[in-house]
Chains A and B, each alone.
Chain A
Amino acid sequence: MTRLLIAFFLLFTLGNAGPTTSELAKDINLAGKQRMLIQRMSKEALMVALHVNEQEAKKDLKKDMELFSRTLQGLLQGDKELGLVPVEDQKIKEAISDLQKRWAPFKQALEKVIDGNFDKKTIEYIKKNNLDLLKRMNAIVEMYVALNKGAKIKRAQAINLAGKERMLSQKIAKDVLLVQYGYKDQAPILREDKKLFARILHGLQKGDKKLGLEETKLPWINKELHKAQKMWQEYEKLAVPKKLSKEKLRALVQKSNLLLSQMDKITKMYEKSINREKRARALSQLVSSFEKQEQEAKHIINLAGKQRMLTQRMSKLALMDALNIDKQKTQKLLKNSYQLYDKTLRGFLVGDKELQLPPAKNEVIKKEIAKVQEVWKPFKKSVEQVLASQGKDPNALAYIIADNEELLKRSNDLVQTFKKEYATHNFLEDARKEIVDIAGRQRMLTQKMTKEKMLVTLGIDPQTNWKKMVTTVELFDTSLKRLMYGDKKHYIIKPTNPKLVAQYKKVASLWQELKPLYLKKKNSPKELNRIIQKNPILLKEMDKAVKLSEVVLEY
Chain B
Amino acid sequence: MRSFTALFFLMIWMLGANSLFAEKLKVNITKDLPYVDVDVWGVPVRIQRIQDTHHKLRNSYIRTSRPTPPFYIQKFQPIPGIETYGELETIYFIRDKLNSDQGLLIDGRMPQWYKQGTIPGAMNIPFSMLADKRYTEKILSLFGAQKKGDKWDFSKALTILVFDNGPWCQQAVTAIKHLVALGYPKEKIKYYRGGMQYWQIVGLTVFNPITLKEVKY
Contacts and interface: CB of A to CB of B under 8 A. Distances in A.
B82 interface: no
A431 B170 CA distance: 14
B129 A290 contact: yes
Interface string A320-355: 000000000000000000000000000000000000
A429 B128 contact: yes
A496 B64 CA distance: 13
A432 to B, nearest CB: 9
B131 A427 contact: no
Contacts of B111: 287-288, 291
B21 interface: no
B138 A15 contact: yes
Contact of B101 (A15, A273, A283, A286): A273
B128 A426 contact: yes
B100 A272 contact: yes
B67 A493 contact: yes
B80 to A, nearest CB: 22
A275 B101 contact: yes
Contact of A279 (B129, B134, B142, B146): B142
B125 A283 contact: yes
A175 B123 CA distance: 47
A553 B110 contact: yes
A400 B139 CA distance: 52
Contact of A290 (B99, B126, B146): B126
Contacts of B149: none
A294 B101 CA distance: 30
Contact of B43 (A14, A217, A494, A551): A217
Interface size grouping (class) on chain A: 35 or more
Contacts of B67: 486, 493-494
Given A20-B141, A496-B60, A555 B134 contact: no
Nearest to B139: A286
Q: Max chain B CB contacts within 10 Å: which of A14, A21, A555?
A: A555
Given A217-B42, A220-B99, A276-B39, A287 B126 contact: yes
B162 to A, nearest CB: 14
Interface in B88-138: 98-101, 104, 109-113, 123-129, 131-132, 134-135, 137-138
Given A290-B132, A555-B169, A428 B137 contact: no
B44 interface: yes
B113 A219 contact: no
Contacts of B99: 220, 272-273
A402 to B, nearest CB: 43
Given A14-B138, A276-B39, A427-B70, A219 B44 contact: yes
Interface string A472-513: 000000000000001010000110100000000000000000
B69 interface: yes
B212 to A, nearest CB: 12
A132 interface: no
A471 interface: no
A284 interface: yes
A208 to B, nearest CB: 16
A535 interface: no
Contact of A155 (B42, B101, B137, B146): B42
Interface string B59-90: 01001001101100000000000000000000
Contacts of B170: 427-428
Given A272-B101, A273-B101, A218 B39 contact: yes
A55 interface: no
Given A294-B128, A493-B70, A555-B66, 16 more contacts: A11-B138, A22-B144, A220-B99, A272-B100, A276-B98, A276-B101, A279-B104, A280-B41, A282-B142, A283-B142, A287-B129, A424-B128, A428-B170, A494-B67, A553-B112, A555-B171
18 contacts: A11-B135, A218-B43, A218-B44, A220-B37, A273-B99, A275-B101, A279-B123, A280-B41, A282-B142, A287-B111, A287-B124, A287-B126, A290-B135, A426-B127, A427-B170, A428-B128, A431-B70, A496-B60
Interface of A: 11, 14-15, 20-22, 155, 214, 216-220, 272-277, 279-280, 282-284, 286-288, 290-291, 294, 424-429, 431, 486, 488, 493-494, 496, 551, 553, 555
**Interchain residue pairs A-B with the least CB separation, the first 3:** A272-B101, A427-B70, A494-B67
